[in-house]
Amino acid sequence: MSNPVKATLKAAPGEDSGVNPIEFLFNPTQLAFEGIVETSDNAGTRSEASGKPKVSFSNIQAYKITISNILFDTYENDSNRNVVKKYIEPLKEAVKFVKGKERPPIFTFAWGTEIYLKYCFVERVTYKLTMFLPDGTPVRAVVDSLTLKETDGIPSESARMPRATEDRTDTIDARKTKKPGR
């Protein structure tokens, strides 16, 4: 019998941020998928035939995958026993902006030959440390929830939204120097 293939988060195709892959120590027991179509009910507008309210379809949200109860355990590992350094730090780095870019790293979430999300980012991670050595070294962690959110690819730096302080033409100084009637 062969060893099971590990689920991984690895740098998405075209991602050049130097992101390290995240390999699950134990494979997830379930993947929860969420897809939402946003709608709005138009009060007062009803179908003549049935009398039911008319619904306007406004947007399709990005898919999300939530993985719960992910176990990381380094108790029996003699060399690198600190579970935070080995497994949790890469997850914490995944919810930070990439240096020099205004976005988190973009991953591909795969398990074996199955690619569940080709382009995604870690939207949320919550974890707890559940076992310690006598010297306080954490050796077991449980990720209560890891939420991956789909994106349509690697965002280009030119496509980012300007910050509130950038590229502002309507400033107080501009208004002071603006001639009336223009």
At residue 45, the pLDDT reads: 77
pLDDT at 161 over 60: no
Angle among Cα 6, 144, 66 to the nearest 5 degrees reads 65
The answer to whether the Cα torsion of 105, 109, 112, 115 is positive or negative is negative
From CA 14, how far away is CA 157, in angstroms rounded?
13
Higher pLDDT, 156 or 61: 61
Closest to 126 in 3D by CA, of 92, 97, 103: 92
Strand ranges for the chain from DSSP E: 7-11, 22-23, 32-34, 37-46, 53-60, 64-73, 107-111, 114-132, 138-150
pLDDT at 173 over 70: no
pLDDT winner (highest mean) among 13-22, 31-40, 73-82, 151-160: 31-40
